[in-house]
A and B are shown apart, each in its own frame.
Chain A
């Protein structure tokens, strides 16, 4: 007769049970995160290796052909150049102006609030609506900008070569000129963006202790520049890292002005054909999902790269 094994109940330790509950409780959040954030990225990644066109039932795998075209066709070369010029111009200028405005406003009393509001206005206005206003102002013959410039003709101001040439021949077309278009876009980008940076810096400045300035002064930092270099700038380190990263990402994402000015083509000679517009044109306007996805993936890599640099800087403890 076999001896019956004593039936031992499975004992789950309290720790395991707790861990399991924790997993159960986080599962919905994790699931949603994967579904909403990661799956689309993976799908875009997969589609970038196909020639899928919206509305078709099938597609072919084309390997790295889309990426190959991105790096060999002159159109995409223009895309990289335009994006690069925009980011490299707008980020430093808007960060610099933002910091400058914040410092000036901070040194003022009540009246600073008025400036704060004024500088922040373009940030609150929709860029798309503002683009339409700019389009009117920049009209080559009946626009406000060229009309104003024309007023300088025949006056002493004509000694400036730019005005002299404009009066003799004609003033720039701005939006229709391949040499000016990207700079107009950069200008509008700075105009629109620096107020936001200013607000971030103002918040950063409130965290700088007054005592530090007094201490620096006692230690011999007499001039304003010395105080800025020794106290303000280091104390604003973390803010600066954040502001630069945000500005970079926003600069990479510029789209609405270009879509408003040049719904077809991305500017004269594709001189303002930035990545975001290229994604829109290929993926949405022309239904070429394959190449659109390839640009999207590249875009993600750029932004990811920027974020990693930020992480690295923060971990190096920029805060002193």
Chain B
């Protein structure tokens, strides 16, 4: 709210300066609790550099799912924003439906685009059929958050590196009277943690247009989750409640995206917080899904000035100083070498907790989209199934896997 007001104040004060050749573009982003501070930090400099571009912020999307769905509906009703932030796993459907425009014409017009320093690995997340359709804005990886006070009090001084060690730590904590040892972020958007356990075994959840939920790796993932949930006696907390409980110092270990680090640190109680790499199944993970979002151009305007302004804004927030704010205000990594290596040179030394995700960058893999129109519904089926493990409703993982496969096949294009 504070941000909206300040953004409005900015718009108002700027509009008096250059009323004649002012270009207005509309923009929407998800997760206000993470990103409000980022845009708030970013916009004054953008205003200064481009006084004739007025950025109108639309209501934020509640989640990536909400964001994609909103765009799909706006495409039907014909009131798309000019630039939108979409989850990395939701870009495909917008490209397939022709809603997100290719950025190639704009990139061709830039003299030194490569020098702007976009990471190839991250740019490839938004490349479809050799055409760049989005510029990654923020990239995250799953990490472990540890409340060292709780861990030390229970007699644990080493951060776990495998799930077996996590479970052993849970059991020690339970024995030492820690009520709430763990929160494992199964409920995170886009089945991200399911994909994390699959990628840890080097298995993609979608291969050649097929969802690989029937693979032995998927069963291993489900069984691993069941083991964590039951042996750790994990409470089924809603994720926002879990984040606030962790910040309040009540939870020993939390496995979540590095993205929340900024928000957690801002509301952190009096305890020592450390992050550690995402544990693996018996060994170090072989891969981890890249989370985060990318800026996509969805402008339907015929006016080249608006298109150009949208591109300018899109480029600004994903590169250089704009992108550096991402790392400063959230736990996300900027997708941009220039931001990471030059502007943020000693930032990571001062913020070792934010370094953890950067160290895991070699493991970066695609956060996969489910094929067809029903991607959102498939996400929900997998979510519901994992929830049944958490609540203890499903006990036989083999059976659960079969039900999941059946329900997902209902939703695939060729059913």
Contact = CB atoms under 8 A, between A and B. Distances in A.
Interface of A: 53-56, 69, 73-75, 139-142, 170, 173, 175-178, 261-265, 268-270, 281-282, 284-288
Interface in B238-264: 238, 241, 244-245, 248, 250
A142 B245 contact: yes
B230 interface: no
Contacts of B97: 55
Nearest to B392: A178
A212 to B, nearest CB: 54
Of A55, A139, A177, A268, chain B has the most CB atoms within 10 Å of the CB of A55
B391 A178 contact: yes
Contacts of A282: 377
Of A175, A268, A286, chain B has the most CB atoms within 10 Å of the CB of A286
7 contacts: A55-B76, A75-B407, A141-B250, A176-B236, A263-B62, A265-B383, A287-B69
Nearest to A288: B377
B179 interface: yes
A175 B242 CA distance: 13
A177 B237 CA distance: 9
Interface of B: 62-63, 65-66, 69, 72-73, 75-76, 97, 179-180, 187, 235-238, 241, 244-245, 248, 250, 373-374, 376-377, 380, 383-384, 387-388, 390-391, 393, 403, 407, 410
Given A55-B97, A139-B244, A284-B69, 12 more contacts: A55-B73, A56-B373, A75-B407, A139-B241, A140-B237, A176-B238, A178-B391, A262-B238, A264-B187, A281-B380, A285-B69, A287-B376
Contacts of B373: 53, 55-56, 287
9 A-B pairs with the lowest CB-CB distances in the bound complex, closest first? A176-B236, A286-B377, A286-B376, A53-B373, A178-B391, A269-B391, A269-B393, A268-B391, A55-B72
Nearest to A271: B391
Contact of B179 (A55, A69, A170, A288): A170
Contacts of B235: 140, 170, 173, 176
Contact of A288 (B374, B384, B403): B374
Contact of B410 (A53, A69, A263, A270): A69
Contact of A73 (B63, B75, B407): B407
Contacts of A176: 235-238, 241
A102 B44 CA distance: 59
Contacts of B66: 285
Contacts of A261: 238
A258 B374 CA distance: 23
B72 A287 contact: yes
Contacts of B76: 54-55
A75 B238 CA distance: 20
A142 to B, nearest CB: 6
A75 B72 contact: no
Contact of B248 (A55, A69, A142, A178): A142
A176 B237 CA distance: 6
- Determine the main DSSP class of B at the interface with A: helix
Nearest to A261: B238
A143 B66 CA distance: 28
A286 B374 contact: yes
A144 B391 CA distance: 23
B89 to A, nearest CB: 15
A231 to B, nearest CB: 50
B324 to A, nearest CB: 32
B403 to A, nearest CB: 8
A169 to B, nearest CB: 9
B42 to A, nearest CB: 27
A55 B75 contact: yes
Nearest to B410: A69
A66 to B, nearest CB: 11
A54 B73 contact: yes
Contacts of B72: 54-55, 287
Contacts of A268: 236, 387, 390-391
Given A139-B241, A141-B250, A286 B236 contact: no
A286 B380 CA distance: 9
Contacts of A177: 236, 391
A69 B179 CA distance: 42
A256 to B, nearest CB: 15
A257 to B, nearest CB: 14
Contact of B236 (A54, A141, A173): A173
A139 to B, nearest CB: 6
B387 A141 contact: no
Nearest to A262: B238
B294 to A, nearest CB: 20
Contacts of A170: 179, 235
A141 B250 CA distance: 8
Contacts of A262: 238
Nearest to B406: A73
A139 B180 CA distance: 14
Contacts of A142: 244-245, 248
B66 to A, nearest CB: 8
Nearest to A54: B76
Contacts of B403: 74
Contacts of B384: 75, 265, 270
B78 to A, nearest CB: 12
A145 B373 CA distance: 43
Contact of A286 (B69, B237, B390): B69
Contacts of A269: 387-388, 391, 393
Contact of B393 (A55, A175, A178): A178
Nearest to A287: B72
Contacts of A141: 180, 245, 248, 250
A204 to B, nearest CB: 41
Nearest to A179: B391
A295 to B, nearest CB: 14
A268 B384 CA distance: 9
Nearest to B411: A288
Contacts of B187: 264
A55 B403 CA distance: 29
